[in-house]
Chain A
Amino acid sequence: MSLISQLPVFRISVQSSEMAVREALQKLLDGLGPLALDVEESGTVELVMAEALNNIVEHAYPPSDPAGPIHITCMHAKDGLHLTVVDHGRGMPDGQTPLGAAANLDVDLCDMPEGGFGWFLIKDLAKDVAYQRVEPENHLTLRLAVAVS
């Protein structure tokens, strides 16, 4: 993997909260400014990272636990953006990410799913999704095939 020099590696840190997700996404998109992503690419980045960060706010730092830090590291390489998200909250159940299967929509209106789309979107849009519990941290890494050369 060879680095492209035009965008240096950058890091964003926020304290877990719903509004912090918006702040982190804005900082991430601002940091990617030099790449001049088109709306399709920036939409992919924002969507995948929104889902990853929302999951942390909701499950790693549930309301019953104190809030904690979320660190995002972004590196641009020839095959796209390599993103690492680290938090100090609760680990994934069973030590792995949910499968992220597509929801079954062939159901009556009253049974239509209102959730469970997050991991589906992450796994559909991102490549090389990997999760590791490194006590006391969660490490999620993924690649987004945008701004590839």
Chain B
Amino acid sequence: MDLRTRSENNLQVVSVHDSRIDAAVAIEFKDAMRASTDGGDDTVVLDLSEVQFIDSSGLGAIVAAMKHMGPARKLALAGLTPTVDKVFRLTRMDSVFSVFPTLDGALKELNP
């Protein structure tokens, strides 16, 4: 699982450079997110713009990553492609996360 991290004005951006977060890589993703976000900025933006497909295991792994960050920190999602967006909408998980159509939009909104 290829995650790349950078910091922008007190926001941590984690970009997923893989086309799928599915059952085959869900645990690997969860571990990689943990390693990427531990000790990082309070607000993390997960850039999903390269992810074309996510299943319920991948969704669970993103929820687990948010829970691991704890209530004092925030995990926002950006750049959801159509099928990824569909999974978040149908499960109503789009009400649990802050969801932004684009990474640029998320950065502007979260860091005015």
Rounded to whole angstroms, the CA-CA distance of A29 and B32 in the bound complex is: 29
Would you list which residues of chain A between 90 and 138 have a CB under 8 Å from chain B? 102-103, 105, 109-110, 112-118, 120-121, 124-125
Consensus secondary structure, chain B interface: helix
- Chain B's interface size range is 20 to 34
Please choose the segment from A5-13, A38-46, A75-83, A139-147 that sits at the chain B interface, where 4 or more of its residues have CB less than 8 A away: A38-46
Consensus secondary structure, chain A interface: helix
Please choose the segment from B6-14, B49-57, B100-108 that sits at the chain A interface, where 4 or more of its residues have CB less than 8 A away: B49-57
Contact A125 B56 (CB under 8 A): no
Partner of B93, one of A46, A54, A105: A105
Would you list which residues of chain A between 33 and 79 have a CB under 8 Å from chain B? 39-40, 43-44, 46-47, 50-51, 54, 57-58
Residues of B at the A interface (CB closer than 8 Å) are: 20, 22-24, 53, 55-57, 59-61, 63-64, 66-67, 70-71, 82-83, 86-87, 90-93, 95-96
Residues of A at the B interface (CB closer than 8 Å) are: 18-19, 21-22, 39-40, 43-44, 46-47, 50-51, 54, 57-58, 102-103, 105, 109-110, 112-118, 120-121, 124-125
